[in-house]
Amino acid sequence: MEQRLSSDVVDAYFDYDKSDIRGDARDALNRDATAIKAILSDFPSAVIMVEGHCDERGSAEYNLGLGDRRASSAKEFLVSLGVPGDRLRTISYGKERPVCTDADEACYQKNRRVHFSPGQ
């Protein structure tokens, strides 16, 4: 399942200090919904984690809340597209798991995301 998630499902990105689903994230999540439904069909007992991430700006506490709002927004959007909500779990990592550590806008954008991983 982990391989399918990494190959078939993409991250959705957010604007600075925002948790609403912007246009490109809407497109990504529309494609992700199809892939996630197929994965969940092939793995009937699986749960998928919807991880909220932030860039390094702001306090750890603030970013944990923002990451939670991002994960919740993405989950709600996926559920509206028919993904079973009881098989999605949200978690926030705030700014603790960056994919990029350069101090510039291009890097910050890569970190403002929702990522999907296998749940326990």
C-beta pairs of 58-67 under 8 Å, 24+ apart in sequence: 58/17, 58/95, 60/94, 60/95, 60/96, 63/92, 63/94, 63/95, 64/92, 64/93, 64/94, 65/92, 66/17, 66/19, 66/92, 66/94, 67/92, 67/93, 67/94
pLDDT tens string 31-53: 999 999 999 999 999 999 999 99
* Residues of the chain predicted below pLDDT 70: none
CATH number of the domain at 2-118, out of 3.30.1330.60, 3.30.930.10, 3.30.300.30, 2.40.50.100?
3.30.1330.60
